[in-house]
Amino acid sequence: MKAMVLKSFGGPDSFELCDVPKPQPLAGQVLVRVHATSINPLDYQVRRGDYPDLVPLPAITGHDVSGVVEEVGPGVTSFSPGDEVWYTPQIFDGPGSYAEYHVAAESIIGKKPASLSHLEAASLTLVGGTVWEALTARAALRVGESILIHGGAGGVGHVAIQLAKAVGAKVFTTVRDANFEFVRRLGADVVIDYKSQDYVDVISRETDGRGVDVVFDTIGGDTLSRSPDALAQLGRVVSIVDIAHPQNLIQAWGKNASYHFVFTRQNRGKLDELSTLVERGQMRPHVGAVYSLADIPLAHARLESHHNGLQGKIAIAVGSRHVS
């Protein structure tokens, strides 16, 4: 099978498209023909060498799969050949999804929502699972509460807006002005230009000084340390970004704040709940660009360059040529 193999840590050209043996499913495992995967910041963080001890080289990386079951190992009861499935491979534990076939444990695989294309489904598994964990499991966001979602036009943020609206919360989000209309269409109530406005001032004005119930930090650094300034008493902060520097939490103490840190975990339950929201029309991932397996280096370079004009996700069509 074809796979995009990471040969050394470094720039996007550290990948090589190779022929490698097709994996075989063992007991409790499923072999999936990968139709689509997607690109996450974790992918370029791994590629450039942020986690050298966790990724032995050469490696097949990639953290989203949408595809079709080709074969099942002994003891598998939930899936049969021909089923359409979606999942995030175990992170830092075995080959990833930049390949024509992938093997995974039955327990982390879900049935793909029928109304999503493979490109859309592969754009939701990792970010959707992360957002589900952050907003529902950790922050326990409730109907009528308010939430500040940083980076609302990004892969994570655009899904977080939709989940928060499905819960019934009021959504404040930070984006650049070119993305105002995009996030309003997703349901954002108050849109803040992070380039020209101070979100703490806007939230204070919009909430009569009360603050929001939940801050969802997808940026880190100053955004995490300033979170208490935007938070209501007894508010919750959820961050999905590793903390590179010590943080002064004195303001959080004054707000009786709770902090949660999320590193996405895989399970079928989350996928099934996301699937329910998708089928009800309350969530749809936005595919902002599509590349082929062979063009993964271009896709990495684009996501990593930040001011890249992207909305939502970059999807990878496995087995077809570059699309846009």
Ligand X SMILES: NC(=O)c1ccc[n+]([C@@H]2O[C@H](COP(=O)([O-])OP(=O)(O)OC[C@H]3O[C@@H](n4cnc5c(N)ncnc54)[C@H](OP(=O)(O)O)[C@@H]3O)[C@@H](O)[C@H]2O)c1
Q: Which residues bind ligand X (CB under 6 A)?
A: 40-42, 127, 130, 150-151, 153-157, 174, 176, 194, 218-219, 240-241, 262-264, 303, 306-307
- Pick 130 or 227: Cβ nearer ligand X: 130
Minimum CB separation of residue 178 from ligand X in Å reads 8
**Smaller CB distance to ligand X: residue 245 or 307?**
307
Minimum distance, C-beta of residue 19 to ligand X, in the bound complex (Å): 30
Q: In angstroms, what CA-CA distances link 259 with 44, 61, 129, 223?
A: 27, 30, 19, 14
Q: Residue 122 Cβ, how far from ligand X at the closest point, in Å?
A: 13
Closest CA to 117 of 276, 315, 296, 304: 315
Phi, psi angles (nearest 5°) of residue 112: -60, 135
Question: Is 197 strand, coil or helix?
Answer: coil
> In which order are the strands placed within the sheet that holds 15-19?
15-19, 2-6, 59-60
Contact 171, 165 (CB under 8 A): yes
CB of 157 to ligand X, least distance (A): 6
Residue whose CB is less far from ligand X, 128 or 235: 128
Q: Which is nearer to ligand X, 76 or 135 (CB)?
A: 135
155 vs 235, beta carbon nearer ligand X: 155
What does the alpha-carbon distance between residue 192 and residue 177 come to, in Å, rounded to a whole number?
8
Residue type, 53: D
| Residue closer to ligand X, measured from CB, 92 or 263 | 263
**Shortest Cβ 48–ligand X spacing (Å):** 12
Q: Check residue 8 and give left, alpha or beta (phi > 0: left; psi -120 to 50: alpha).
A: beta
Query: By Cβ distance, which residue is nearest to ligand X?
Result: 154
Smallest distance from the beta carbon of 232 to ligand X, in angstroms? 20
